[in-house]
Structure 1
Amino acid sequence: MRPLIMVGAGRGSLPRIVAEAAAARGRPLSGYVEFGDNPEPPTTPLERLGDAALLDDPAFLAGVDLVVAVQGAARRPLALQLLQAQASLPPLAHPAATISTTATLGAGTVVSAGAIVQSDARIGRFCLLNTAASIDHDNSVGDFVSIAPGVHAAGYVTIEDEAFVGLGAVIINGVTVGAGATVGAGAVVTRNVPAGATVVGNPARVLPPKT
């Protein structure tokens, strides 16, 4: 089995989630690669293997599995760079998550403890499913989607690329959340959310664009 290496570090939540999930699966991280303008060591003791230059080295990429722990705007271009370089980017799910045998997880997706992915749900690439989020049967989740803790998406929900669903939000059956949309914390989504829109409240309503 190839070493599992984390790209990115720092003191945010994602590097810790990644390190803990890997250790709990019995495949602890073998080190980390610094990435970004102000790299910091992770809170979990790990060997520093080098900086972002390693990610341009085909010999390095051929010998490792990578998990991207970079958050924010840098996550997508880095992930696409690594895909283009044919890096190995397996999904990582904490063993305390429940993943149906008929569900699929895309490359680079990270699933936290307590999350549930039900039958025939399809989760795209480089998604983040946080603590105790539930993605029910026949959901379709695009790439680079962030699902906050305690979110509940009922059956046949579609969440398109780069959407963000905030803490404790609820999405009813059959609703589509458009690409790049934001669902506010605690929102109850009862109708489709347009691409790029922000919705809040119960029932969720679209906020007017900022002027």
Structure 2
Amino acid sequence: MKPLVMVGAGPGSLPRIIAEAAAARGAPLAGYLDAEEDPQPPTTPIPRLGDQTLLEDAGFLSAHDLVLGVQGRVRRALAEAILARGGRLPVIVHPAATVSTTARIGDGTILSAGVIVQSDTRIGRLCVLNTACTVDHDNLVGDEVSIAPGAHTAGRVTIQDGAFIGLGAVIINNVVVGARATVGAGAVVTRDVPEGATVVGNPARVLPKKDS
């Protein structure tokens, strides 16, 4: 395994999740690169190696694996740039997570402690699966999906690109959560969620969109 470098390392929770997962695997982060126009130092002591201009250095890319500590639109842009230049974004799995041997997980996805991914599930690229969430058998999870701590999906659930599943939410069998949809904390989702919608409650209901 190559030394692992985090791109972006502000005070949010994701950089700390990454740092702790790397250390628990016995291969602590080798350092971090500043990202975006207003870099902020990490709360975890990690050496600064430079800024994201190093991502244009073929030698640096070939010598290191990278993990993205930033979220939002910049996350996808950085990932595409890294992969286009031949860089590598490995899957980061905390050793206290459990992943079926028949599950498949895409580049750059991060699994925190206590996560369970069951048989024949497919997780896309650049996802974040937070503490003790569970994704059951035969799920299809798209790219850039975020699943909050303690959320659970039953079998054969589909979660499309960019969706957010809130803290402690539950999604029953065979439901489809549309692209960029938001499932509120504690929601119990019993029917499909439209693209871009926000659902809350038990059973979950769609919130009306605010006037622009």
Could you state the TM-score of these two structures normalised by the residue count of structure 2?
A: 0.97
| Per-residue deviation, residues 163-188 of structure 1 (Å, max 9, x unmatched) | 00011100000000011111111111
Give the alignment of 1:80-159 within 5 angstroms: 80-159=80-159
Partner SS for 2:27: coil
> In structure 2, what is the equivalent of residue 199 of structure 1?
199
Secondary structure of the 1:33 match is: strand
| Residues 17-56 of structure 1 mapped to structure 2, 5 A cutoff | 17-56=17-56
Moved more, 140-149 or 83-92: 83-92
- The alignment's C-alpha RMSD in Å is 0.9
Structure-2 separation of matches of 1:189 and 1:86: 40
Identity, % of aligned positions: 68
Residue 37 of structure 1 and its aligned partner are, at CA, apart by 1.6
Using the TM superposition, give the Cα deviation of residue 16 of structure 1 relative to its aligned residue in structure 2, in angstroms.
Answer: 0.4
The separation in 2 between residues aligned to 1:77 and 1:183, in whole angstroms, is: 25
Compare 82-91 and 114-123 and name the one that shifted more. Answer: 82-91
Deviations 1:104-128 (A, max 9, x none): 1110000000111011111100000
Structure 1 residue 41: deviation in Å? 1.9
The Cα of 1:86 is off from its aligned counterpart by 2.2
Q: Distance in 2 between matches of 1:131 and 1:187?
A: 18
CA distance in 1, matches of 2:210, 2:191: 22
1:33-70 per-residue CA deviation (whole Å, 9 max, x = no partner) reads 11012112212211111001011111211111001110
* Residue-pair matches, total: 211
Give, in whole Å, the separation in 1 of the partners of 2:146 and 2:205: 20
Amino acid at match of 2:36: G
- Alpha-carbon deviation of 1:73? 2.7
Aligned equivalents of 1:66, 1:155: Cα separation in 2: 32
Partner of 2:58: 58
Alpha-carbon distance between aligned partners in 2 of 1:182 and 1:80, rounded to the nearest angstrom = 24
TM-score by length of 1: 0.98
Residue 3 of structure 2 corresponds to residue 3 of structure 1 = yes
Match of 2:72 in 1: 72
Measured after TM superposition, the shift of residue 154 of structure 1 is 0.2
Larger mean CA deviation between 176-185 and 32-41 belongs to 32-41
Partners of 1:103 and 1:191 lie apart in 2 by 25
Deviations 1:144-178 (A, max 9, x none): 00000010000000000000001110000000001
Structure 1 range deviating more: 39-48 or 157-166: 39-48
Quick one: distance in 1 between partners of 2:163 and 2:203? 19
Q: Deviations over 1:60-87 (max 9, x none)?
A: 1111100111022321211122122221
**Unpaired segments ≥5 residues, structure 1:** none
The secondary structure found in structure 1 opposite 2:67 is strand
Aligned partners of 1:12 and 1:42: how far apart in 2?
Answer: 8
